[in-house]
Amino acid sequence: MLIKIYPENPNERAIEQVVEVLKKGGLIIYPTDTIYGLGCDISNPKAIEKICRIRGIKPEKANFSFICHDLSHISDFIKPIDNTTFRVLKKALPGPFTFIFNANNNVPKLLSSNKKTVGIRVPDNNIARCIVKELGNPILSTSIKDDDELIEYSTDPELIYEKYQDLVDLVIDGGYGDNEASTVIDCTNGEFEVIREGKGNIEDFL
């Protein structure tokens, strides 16, 4: 199923439809402030396994992000952080960053068998954040990669739908996506260490 949602003013009924799919263990492809993501409800182990099969990776080896609605969501899954880190997050989010933190015991067991860290995102995209808010917990997410050598990420939702319609339950057309991923920043040692340059520049917020 392909549904159109406008990011400026997401349709409430459409958001509820997406959340219904997630609650039933379905997979969705949805827009963010960077690239399109493949996601599921983090509390559904079967859905997580399905995503891992699509990506050809083992759950315990996967580097997934948690898409959160706001900062209050983040503290549910990470160990306590200092005030300086919190102030930077408050300025930088919502935004095109993935922050890696030390995970606490709430991270789903399927993912945390060997994992001590978790990647957290609060995208500056109304569709993604409305879905998470309505769902009541984060979406487990991974990027949609493209097979094309020149284009790393798929940006056209209709082409994404053609490619993934048999693998996922719902694709959201939220307009063209970006072709640049989020900047990944490791915060596990109390520092802000950029481990992948992407769309966001953390220097603007330090």
Report the pLDDT value the prediction gives residue 62, as an integer from 0 to 100: 75
Report the pLDDT value the prediction gives residue 113, as an integer from 0 to 100: 59
Report the pLDDT value the prediction gives residue 110, as an integer from 0 to 100: 63
In one-letter notation, the amino acid at residue 74 is I
Report the pLDDT value the prediction gives residue 69, as an integer from 0 to 100: 93
Report the pLDDT value the prediction gives residue 143, as an integer from 0 to 100: 86
Which residue segments constitute the domains of the chain, with CATH numbers given? 2-196 (3.90.870.10)
Q: Which mean pLDDT values do the consecutive 10-residue runs of the chain (206 residues) have?
A: 94 97 97 95 92 83 87 88 94 97 81 77 96 95 68 80 94 92 94 95 94
Helices (H), 57-136: 71-74, 83-92, 109-112, 126-135
Report the pLDDT value the prediction gives residue 41, as an integer from 0 to 100: 95
Query: In DSSP terms, which residues pair with 171 in a beta bridge?
Result: 2, 29
Q: Per the omega criterion (within 30 degrees of 0), is the bond before 59 cis? A: no
